[in-house]
Amino acid sequence: MNKSPASLDDDALGDAVRGALKLVDAPAPLVAAAVSLWATQAAAAPAATLTGAVGAAVRKVRAALTFDSWATTPGALGLRSAGLSRQTRHLMFSADGRDIDLRIVSAANSYVLAGQILGPEERGSVEISVDTSIDRDGPPPQSVELDDLGSFELEAMRAGTYWMTLRFAGDVVELPPIDIGNH
């Protein structure tokens, strides 16, 4: 069926409909994450411009989730765990030689996001921005430097879906969207 489908007769077009109906939707979290790329790019635009001005040697690395203490099944797609009441969530991501260890702790009416980069000893920073396609009135993006132990902490975070980017001298590591809190 390599003719344009518009040129098919009824029987052939019916067969094309049958084939079309067999196409499976991508999982909703994947589609949502792809849609949210727009907001991530918009939030990162100033930093990206700066990176480009400094040099073209910066690599973009995409981190993959390797552990979620709230996941019901290993390897589950998406990070949403709304409805669970446990106080602390532990997430681990892996990205080309670095492990990113995150802990989300419920504190009164907000959350604390603490993390540590495990891997080569290096300076860097963490940028986090709310997914504006989901929450248009969310807080502004935040940025914090890693300390000598590669750790960082962000307090008084409100529930929401966030994008996190780690910036090092040679790499930019992008994490999948992270849901904080029950929202």
The CB-of-147 to other proteins minimum distance in angstroms stands at 25
**Whole-number minimum distance, CB 151 to other proteins, in Å?**
22
Closer to other proteins by CB, 13 or 105: give it. Answer: 13
Q: Measured from the CB of residue 168, what is the shortest distance to other proteins in angstroms?
A: 13
Pairing of strands 151-157, 171-174: unpaired
**23 — phi, psi (to 5°)?**
-65, 135
User: 168 and 122 in contact (C-beta within 8 Å)?
Assistant: yes
H/E stretch holding 11: helix 10-21
How far, in Å, are 42, 58, 68 from residue 168 at the CA level? 20, 9, 24
Q: What is the pairing mode between strands 88-95 and 124-130?
A: unpaired
The CB-of-111 to other proteins minimum distance in angstroms stands at 25
Catalog residues that contact other proteins under the rule CB under 8 A.
1-2, 4-6, 8, 10, 13-27, 30-31, 33-35, 37-39, 41, 56-66, 75, 77, 94-96, 133, 176
In contact, 138 and 160? CB cutoff 8 Å: yes
The residues that bridge with 115 in the sheet, in sequence order, are 102, 152
Q: Which residues contact 159 (CB under 8 A, 6 or more apart)?
A: 111, 180, 181, 182, 183
Q: How far is the CB of 100 from other proteins (least distance, A)?
A: 12
CB of 96 vs other proteins, minimal distance in Å: 5
Residue 17 or residue 84: which is nearer to other proteins going by CB?
17
